[in-house]
Amino acid sequence: EPEVTQTPSHQVTQMGQEVILRCVPISNHLYFYWYRQILGQKVEFLVSFYNNEISEKSEIFDDQFSVERPDGSNFTLKIRSTKLEDSAMYFCASSTGQGRGRETQYFGPGTRLLVL
């Protein structure tokens, strides 16, 4: 069964460094998403992406964050200058976009980011 994959599974970085989290959505999906989960907290929506542009973003998704679909298969989340509070599990998800609202979002296994 097709699945969303994410790399790396774990990343440790120093505060102020840039990180890029990578995702490969399911191949025929058109909508892509990033969520994060700070340890012990809720899973929170960050951003949705369709047709090469952001379709919706949360207040968390400030100027330090950006998303890109650099080629036909990858979807990336960049954090320009990491802060301690960016430490979290980051989940990528994708959906077909057909039957808007009816389709499931399929989640990847996550990337655990630790900012020191």
Partner 1 sequence: KQEVTQIPAALSVPEGENLVLNCSFTDSAIYNLQWFRQDPGKGLTSLLLIQSSQREQTSGRLNASLDKSSGRSTLYIAASQPGDSATYLCAVKKDDKIIFGKGTRLHILP
> What residues make contact with partner 1 under the rule CB under 8 A?
31, 33, 35, 41-45, 48, 50, 55-56, 58, 91, 100-102, 104-110, 112
User: What is the smallest separation between the CB atom of 81 and partner 1, expressed in angstroms?
Assistant: 25
The answer to whether 27 and 73 are in contact (CB under 8 A) is yes
User: What is the smallest separation between the CB atom of 49 and partner 1, expressed in angstroms?
Assistant: 9
Residue 39 or residue 84: which is nearer to partner 1 going by CB?
39
DSSP 76: E
Residue 16 or residue 90: which is nearer to partner 1 going by CB?
90
106 vs 21: CA distance, rounded Å: 17
Residue 20 or residue 50: which is nearer to partner 1 going by CB?
50
Q: Please classify residue 116 by burial: count the beta carbons closer than 10 Å to its beta carbon, then call 0-12 exposed, 13-18 middle and 19+ buried.
A: exposed
Residue 82 or residue 111: which is nearer to partner 1 going by CB?
111
43 vs 41: CA distance, rounded Å: 7
User: What is the smallest separation between the CB atom of 16 and partner 1, expressed in angstroms?
Assistant: 26
22 vs 84: CA distance, rounded Å: 20
